Amino acid sequence: MAGAGAKTVVQKCTPVWHPSPNFTERRNGLQPHLVVLHYTAMSSAEAALQRLCDAEAEVSAHYLIGRDGTLWQMVAEMARAWHAGAGEWRGLDDINSRSIGIELDNAGDHPFSEPQVSCLEALLGQILKRWAIPPEAVIGHSDMAPGRKIDPGPRFDWARLARQGLAAHSPIANECPEASEAAGDFQNLYEAAGYSAAASPEELLQALRLRHAPWRQGALCGADIALLRALSASGARRRT
């Protein structure tokens, strides 16, 4: 039975080619080393597909996954799709030239379906292997554009991807300093964790929590600072 189920996922995740005119060559000879996840915030996958392939809209993505697990490919992976917009990750801009964009049919206010997430897992596994992209380089739109974007939002199950080796684990913070004692270095910690895009303290905090602690509310607290310290430390280890 397990083999039959796995076969079904692979079949559902065979892309349906639906080309978009909205792409260019990647700039400066760049190749994909990031994957950016989005939600469509539209009424249906069909509506999103139409917009992503509309020349006047000037937006696109490499892939779109419907709620039923249907996978469409709109732009070749070698090309630069127009999905990320302004922003940065780890001090690098022009994320479109550095990434593969995946849109998920979801309005942001409900869970992502099992067929959709299963297809995403299969697709991510292929992309990461094909381009030698590490799990830590799978990010949300909100990570690289804090304040401007919130997708894939608080309902997205990052922990599930992490368990599959398809995204970074959220570190367990062992210390919990008082926020008033550590808030002064919040900006530096944020940048060290990868969040380098210009944004207000409130927007940065929102982006951090969307990815790693969507249940947490209120003002900056010691748990946020401890999380940032752990993220910064793990990022430093990966770079050495």
How confident is the model over 89-102, as a mean pLDDT?
A: 98
Q: Where are the domains positioned within the chain? A: 2-163, 179-239
Per-residue pLDDT tens digits for 185-228: 678 889 999 999 999 999 999 999 999 999 999 998 888 888 99
DSSP state of 185: G
3-class state of residue 174 by DSSP: coil
Supply the CATH classification number for the domain 2-163: 3.40.80.10
Cα dihedral sign, 110-63-130-152: negative
Count other C-beta atoms under 10 Å from residue 236's C-beta.
Answer: 11
Per-residue pLDDT tens digits for 12-70: 579 999 999 999 999 999 999 999 999 999 999 999 999 999 999 999 999 999 999 99
Alpha carbon separation from 73 to 70, 100, 159, 188, 221 (Å, rounded): 10, 11, 26, 38, 42
Decide if 103 is catalytic.
yes
**What's the pTM value of the predicted model, to 2 decimals?**
0.91
Per-residue pLDDT tens digits for 57-71: 999 999 999 999 999
CB 155 within 8 A of CB 112: yes
Catalytic hit among 88, 103, 191, 203: 103
CB 154 within 8 A of CB 210: yes
